[in-house]
Structure 1
C-alpha cells in the first residue's frame, strides 16, 4: 500500500455547475449595479429638469425687466382673472404693484393691462380709489387702462379710474351692473321628505338660506342692497369718465350689457383702440416695458402651467376643442 497523497477527483459536471452558478451570481450583481446607476442618472435628470424649469419661471431671471429698470420705461401692471381676495388680481397685489410702479423714478407712464370678467365690488373699489390717489400724488405720471379680451363689471370699474382707456376692436367692454345668484331647493326637499331646521336670534338672519321659501319683504330688501351697490358703481364710473360717456343718448350704458371695443368707442366707454405695446410706444413714448405685477412663486407658476398642459393634452385626446378664430 503506497503512502503517496493523491489529489481528490472532482466530478467535471459538478465543476461546470459551480461555474454556471458563479456566472449567474456575477451577472446578477452587474445588473443590480447597472440598474442602480440608471436610477441615479434618472433622478439627477429629473432634479436638473425641475431646477431649470424653476429658474426659467423665476422673475429674478427676467433679463429684459432687469435691463429696462435702469432706463426710462413704461410700467406694466396686469389685472388678470377674477378680482377677489387671495386671487392673483386681489386688491393687495394690484395696489402693491401700482405703488412700486409710481415710486420708481424711471417710470414715465403706467399701463394697466386688463383681462378680467370682474369680481368683488369691494376689491375693485379699493383698486379704483388707489389709482385715483396715486394719480393725484404723481401728476406727471399718467395711467392708461388697456383692455384685452375682456374688461367687464369690476374690471371696468377699475379701468374707469385711469386717465384713458384703450381696447381692441373686438374686446368685450362694459357690464356695468351688479348680480347675486343662488339656487332654491324648497320643492326638492319637500319631494324628498327632508325638513329644514334653522335656529336664529334675528328675524331675518337666515334670509339668504336656499332651503327656505323666499319672503317678499326680504327679496325686496336684497334688491335694495344690490341697487345701492350698483349706484356706487355708476357714480364711480361717471366720476372717472366724466363727459366722455354718452349717457344722454344711451341710458342702457348702466344696464349690465357688454359691447365690443369698437362699439364701446362710440359710447365713450373707451377713448381709443390700441394694445399695451402701442400705448407704451406711441402714447407714453417709452417702448421699454417693465412688468411690476406681483408674481406668484416659481413653483406655483410651474404647477399651473404643468396642469394646464396636461388638461390641454387630455382635451385633444378626448376630441374636444373650444371655439377659436383661426
Structure 2
C-alpha cells in the first residue's frame, strides 16, 4: 500500500500544518463530521500525535480511501503550496462513484438511540436461554459506536408497541431528568420468539414486523425523518429447518424543498428468512446477533458501511452448522433496506 510505505515521509512533512490536512480530508468527505470533530479534540501532547491519528484513521478505511488521500496530497493547490517538499510517486487519478461521498451525517453526541427489547420469559413458561448474552453483546457494541442504549426486558405485545410509539412520537419514555434526545440515527434490536412476518410479545401475541417499521415512517413532526433507522431482529420466522447444498468446486478442509418517501431511510435485518427457524445457543447467544456484533467490531473501524457489514454477517451465519451432519440444519439472515445513503458507524 503506497500510503503505508510513504507514511514516515508524509508524517514528518504534514506536521508543519496538520490542521490544513485535517480540513482538506473533511472537505473531500474522506472522514465524517464526527470523525473530524473527534480528531480536532483528541488529547495529544504534540503535533505529530495528531497527524499519526489522522493517518491511522485514513489507513483503517482501506485502499480506496488511501489512494484518494494520496491523490489529494499531489493535486490540491493549497497543499502543494504549503508542502512543496512533499514529493511522492504520482498516484493514478481515480474516479470515485458519487455514493462514496453520500453518507448519513452522524454528528450528534450520542450518535442516537439504540433500543434493545429482550424477551426471555414467556407466559407459557418457556425461556429463551442465551438471550441475555445477545442483549449484553448488542449493548456493548452500540455503546462503543456512540449510541445511548435503552434496555427493555420481557415486554408483551402491547408494551412493545407502546415503547416504539413513544420513542417515535417523543412522549415520556424516560424520567424528566434524562431528556430523550433522538440524535442522528436510531437502532432497534428485538430479541424474541417469532413466526412468519411477526415477533411475539411475552404474552405470545404477535406484533408484525411491518407494523414495527411503519411506526417509524417519515413525517414532518418526527425528529428522525430523513435519518437512518435500523431494525435488527433475532426471532424465528417459522418452524422449518434450512438444509444445505454442496457448492461446486468448494471443498471443506475440516467438514430542503426536496421530499423523501415516507418509508425511506430504513434497514431491517432479520436473523432468518420467512418460514424458517433461527438458532440460539443456550449460553453463547444466537448465531445472528453474535456474528453481527463481531463483524461490527472488526469492520466499523475500517469505515465499512452497514450494508457491506451485513453481507459478511450473512456469509458467516450461512457457513454455520446446526447439526453434526453437515448441511442438515442451516440458517441465512435476510436484509432489506430503503436507505438512501451509506450508513457508516465509527467507534466513539
More helix, by proportion: 1
TM-score between the two structures when normalised by the length of structure 1: 0.24
Greater RCO, CA 8 A, separation 6+: 1
Please, what TM-score do these two structures have when normalized by structure 2?
Answer: 0.23
